[in-house]
Structure 1
């Protein structure tokens, strides 16, 4: 195998790791929580490595920074759009969505991303890659061979494990939808009982308000206002029960997710906050909301 292929693969891993660092920091700041943004289990975002290596190979001969910027921006958008489309066709889910950005195309790419990738292409080709090539050239060829074989095998295994783990994501989401519907019906019945009890209590108080008022002076030391305090405590108790049952529902949804979704699928839901399913997306949003409420409540 030509040595250049081994170097290209090592460069691919380097830029994939840099992309993972960039994406993880960016999304963690946006979500205000740590987010492991890698598509693979390892700290890699392959789309960044692919784009960077393609820029190095195809655009290395462009000396005009403006032309390099424009070609990098357009090329990166084409790569991102195709990757988004292909992954949605394969896994029946949209992994990222730029619909909330202005000047986007079907939510797959946006103008801001094109500008970032254009600048990134100039920096990589003119600034970063010469140093990366210099450092990798200093590695003994035997070490390059072993690094290539070891890391290539690990990447292939990681890719297979990831794809196998998420390929049935749509079926898992359907199972979760059925379980969530069952839990939701049960919780609504229990909440309804609490609401009926609280309503009956309020009605009884209204019907017997005259008698309660006359007895208040004796029962509460001549301070009728304490009757309102007792009624308020009862209603507050009912509302607290509703909150507890809401938390119980969230816990049950989390347990259901743990039993239905594979580890890879759960990791994807956490890693891609804007992941959107082609079917049963409402159930996915419900699960994400449950996780978020549980996180806020500690």
Structure 2
């Protein structure tokens, strides 16, 4: 029994690594930048490993590919929905969101994902797993024991470090929101003073030159004041100075794990202060685009 569990654990690691490779390539292409996808620090996506070993252990006796496809698709959807819901309750954030896909359920699962996982279930159970089982069966038992033990210790440590690093993500986001708002107010005050100074100059100019030229100057000043009176909501509206300040603030507020999560999950949404998170993303995208 213990030996079988060790094999299952090694299979879990293999499929978790394959899932990490798949996710990293997919998201990197979508984002047009390298993305080290995965919840853990190591190259593993545990949800893929969990789904794969569950399919191998529970669905291995199914010989009809159509039935296997349907059961795999439904099982993967249940697993993904439960994982999304559980992580949101634990960390107060939505790690992935399928709202932009048609036929989605609360943005947690979607029809396209179900089809992909259904095909994957058939491919794993009927094609990949027999080969994986043969390869692992050829490895000497002492090696199986030691590799399983060492990898288990590493995964437990990685999980503990990751969870400890992101458990206060919501509080860090609160700090970012407060600091950015404070800095934005200071910038508005500075711009407001400059607008007032230009306004006084325009008044004098209007008195001197009058007519059409003076009216145009007044309109320009008024437009600048109106533009700066509203909130700074997107990277297109933010000055380079403010974007650099947001990035500097994020580096000081978020720890390494939290910064990695923001980079690894482009559709990460927070329950609270999500606008500040999106403003941070806009600033990063704008600054990254400026370096090209």
TM-score by length of 2: 0.87
Cross-structure match for 2:270: 277
1:249 pairs with one of 242, 252, 256: 242
Cross-structure match for 1:45: 45
Identify unmatched segments of 5+ residues in structure 1: 214-230
The correspondence of residues 165-184 of structure 1 with structure 2, limited to 5 A, is 165-184=165-184
Q: Which runs of 4+ in 1 moved over 2 A?
A: 190-210
Distance, in Å, in 2 between the alignment partners of 1:206 and 1:265 is 54
RMSD: 2.5
Distance, in Å, in 2 between the alignment partners of 1:188 and 1:109 is 42
Identify unmatched segments of 5+ residues in structure 2: 229-235
Q: Does residue 267 of structure 2 align to residue 263 of structure 1? A: no
The correspondence of residues 26-175 of structure 1 with structure 2, limited to 5 A, is 26-175=26-175
Once the 2 structures are TM-superposed, how far is the Cα of residue 194 of structure 1 from its aligned partner?
Answer: 3.8
Distance, in Å, in 1 between the alignment partners of 2:39 and 2:73 is 22
Once the 2 structures are TM-superposed, how far is the Cα of residue 193 of structure 1 from its aligned partner?
Answer: 3.4
CA-to-aligned-CA distance 1:145-176 (integer Å, 9 cap, x gap): 11001111000000000000001111111111
Distance, in Å, in 1 between the alignment partners of 2:132 and 2:186 is 59
CA-to-aligned-CA distance 1:18-53 (integer Å, 9 cap, x gap): 101111111111111111111000011000000000
CA-to-aligned-CA distance 1:42-76 (integer Å, 9 cap, x gap): 01100000000000000011000000000000000
Aligned residues: 275
Once the 2 structures are TM-superposed, how far is the Cα of residue 290 of structure 1 from its aligned partner?
Answer: 1.2
CA-to-aligned-CA distance 1:227-285 (integer Å, 9 cap, x gap): xxxx9xxx9xx9xxx99x81111111111111111110111011001001111111111
Distance, in Å, in 1 between the alignment partners of 2:130 and 2:198 is 73
Distance, in Å, in 2 between the alignment partners of 1:195 and 1:293 is 26
Once the 2 structures are TM-superposed, how far is the Cα of residue 205 of structure 1 from its aligned partner?
Answer: 5.3
